[in-house]
A and B are shown apart, each in its own frame.
Chain A
Amino acid sequence: MTDTKTIIELLTNIPDPEIPAINIVEMGIVREVKFNEDELLVKITPTYSGCPAMKAIEDEIINELNAQGYEKVSVKKIYNPAWSTDWLTDEAKRKLKEYGIAPPEGKAEDEFYHDLITNPVQCPYCNSKGTKLTSEFGSTACKSLHYCNECQQPFEHFKCI
């Protein structure tokens, strides 16, 4: 029997549908992989309650594993524990920055990092802290919009949650 590590490795082939720079495992969306006799169960958790990418992710997981020869695959959505940016690996944060998205700063429980006005986000392009919040809501639920006064570049930030 294949061990679950192999399955997780296969799932790293699936990019996040909205932020393709990182995969769904690095993103912390895949929570658990389990074999129930001949069926493979993958538990995933949404980044935000209304994340519209969940269905796409579910389909991708089934397609990817079917393609690798795992015929019976089911995906279950779980809410507990709630997704947190603390689960993003350093590697994932590095990739986000490289992609032009400022990664979350600090730990989710530290509310200092939730207030994006008193705590300006570092620009992913020039590393300046001289930035301002344009909107706490961006193109996807997990991002906010900012502007760098130093390099005059608008950019997105992955909110700490």
Chain B
Amino acid sequence: MEINGEIRNELFEYLLRLGDDRLILGHRLSEWCGHSPILEEDIALANIALDCVGQANGFLSLAAEVENKNRNEDDLAYFRDETEFKNLQLVEQPNIDFAYTIVRQFFVDVFSVPFYEELSKSKLEDLAGIAAKSLKEAKYHLRHSKSWLLRLGDGTEESHKKIQNAVDDLWRFTGELFFENEVDEKLIKDNYVPSAKAIEVQWNEEVEKVITEATLKLPEEPNTSLRAGRNGDHTEHLGHILAEMQIVARSHPGAKW
């Protein structure tokens, strides 16, 4: 693959973001395996987790190729430390309960569909390919999270309360979905990636529409935060995820099965 040297660092950084978001979200979802409220949901969440980890595999393989330093996707997933992870703080938030899991997923899915649609137009063919594939998956992920949000919001008093709590708690992490810095600026200019900010209006409209339909309310306060996972600043939860996710690979480097 021919990568212009001037763009290599930015592209690598950006691909880490994409890969890390899906890797961490996929890991979180996989924690439900064997614990979901009903069997069908156990299967559904495991399936979605698998899609996320699969997408992460694609992005991180491409990141490794772009970096060109003899690392592969597994090295990037298992041998980087917390501050080197560039995922959104939203995706590392703990499952807490089914309502939290659904709200977290919904916030991500509403973003992912239009984002992948734009990313599939990237001038980097391999990246466009992964995005086009991921778009198909994001569409049914959204169908799943949206239908649960509606059912739980407009469900029983207890389900309504739980999902409203989750909306209130997770809202402050959603502003980061539209994070942009000089990395984006350069890549957007050269048509490698779309602008995340450009999706914000559409995201707000869609989220508000579904939240209202679910008889829920969005918090009044702004959803922006000062610290960003994109800069390697994480909540206390990421370290615990990495400890669990990386322990086997780090204890037995180079192990094969």
Residues of A within 8 A of B (CB): 46, 48-52, 78-83, 108, 114-115, 134-139, 141, 145, 159, 161
Chain A interface SS verdict (over half)? loop
| Interface assignment of B43: CB less than 8 Å from any CB of chain A | yes
- Which residues of chain B have C-beta atoms less than 8 A from A159's C-beta? 140
Asked whether A48 and B51 contact (CB < 8 A) given A79-B126, A80-B125, the answer is yes
Contacts of B126 in A (CB 8 A): 79-80
B54 at the interface (CB under 8 A from A): yes
B134 CB–A CB distance under 8 Å = yes
State whether B44 touches A49 (Cβ < 8 A).
Answer: no
Residues of B contacting A134 in the complex (Cβ-Cβ under 8 angstroms): 40
In the bound complex, do residue A137 and residue B43 qualify as a contact, i.e. CB atoms below 8 Å apart? yes
Query: Which residue on chain B has the smallest CB distance to residue A144?
Result: B140
CA gap between A49 and B55 in the complex, in Å: 5
Chain B residues with CB under 8 A of A108: 136
Q: Are A48 and B40 in contact (CB under 8 A)?
A: no
Q: Which of B50, B132, B139 interacts with A81 by CB under 8 Å?
A: B132
Q: Is B129 an interface residue (CB 8 A)?
A: yes
CB proximity to A under 8 Å, residues B163-222? none
**In the complex, what distance in Å separates the CA atom of A42 from the CA atom of B103?**
41
**What B residues does A52 contact at CB under 8 A?**
50
Inter-chain contact A82/B133, CB cutoff 8 Å: yes
Q: Which B residues are CB-close (under 8 A) to A81?
A: 129, 132
Which residues of A lie under 8 Å from residue B128 when comparing CB positions? 80
- Report the bound CA distance from A138 to B22 in whole Å: 21
* Given A79-B130, A137-B40, A139-B43, CB of A49 within 8 Å of CB of B58: yes
Residues facing A in B112-160 (CB within 8 A) are 125-126, 128-130, 132-137, 139-140, 143-144
B26 to chain A: which residues have CB within 8 Å?
50
For residue B52, CB closer than 8 A to chain A, the reply is: yes
Kindly provide the distance from the CB of B189 to the nearest chain A CB, expressed in whole angstroms.
24
Residues A80 and B54 in contact in the complex (CB < 8 Å), given A135-B40, A136-B44, A141-B47: no
Separation in Å of the A155 CB from the closest CB of chain B? 15
